[in-house]
Amino acid sequence: AYVGITRAEELATISFAANRRVYGRWQAQFKSRFIDELPMSHVDEQTPPGLYGGGFGAVGMTDAASDLHDRASRADVYNSPGWKRLQSRSQHRGMSQPSEARNVVIDVNAVSAFTVGDRVFHQKFGYGAVTGIEGDKLDIAFDKAGDKKVVAKFVTAAESAGDVPF
């Protein structure tokens, strides 16, 4: 916040989150110490403090829980911008029905367009020869890249490789 305050020419808006996820875990956050150093005559707090602050620090667990409950009962969460945004979005969308499940059938015995011994071309691995076929996957011995297992749709027959727009 300090850099923003020092560079603002007329007006600076400063906000912060009470909690945020850091490396997948929730952490309580504190406002910048520079905010408390500002003269109160220059500060216009536009949102109620809500549930921010407190914590369990030196206060006993029961006192802290009681304090949290008191602040929660006073918080005006239903008039917060986030709550209003949620309400407007849900009104626009209405109640949507879940989409029907679709069955996808994969034929593991599908006939490949290639046979063992065919010369093929792959955009990344170059030219090679098919050494095995397993459903839609081809075992290919590439001239320069070695043995690879590649999905058949990513290779073309070597004789038509010149027609491929790579």
Q: What is the pLDDT of residues 27-74, one digit of tens each?
A: 877 777 767 777 777 777 666 555 544 444 444 445 555 565 566 556
- What is the per-residue pLDDT for 84? 74
Class of domain 119-163: mainly beta
Q: How far apart are CA 158 and CA 166, in angstroms?
A: 14
Q: What is the pLDDT of residues 112-166, one digit of tens each?
A: 789 999 999 999 999 999 999 988 899 999 999 999 999 999 999 988 877 555 4
Domain with CATH 2.30.30 in the chain: 119-163
0.75 exceeded by pTM: no
Q: How far apart are CA 148 and CA 129, in angstroms?
A: 10
Q: What is the pLDDT of residues 95-104, one digit of tens each?
A: 555 566 677 6
- Higher-scoring residue by pLDDT: 109, 33: 33
- Whether 92 and 112 have beta carbons less than 8 Å apart is answered as no
Note the Cα 15 to chain centre separation in Å: 23
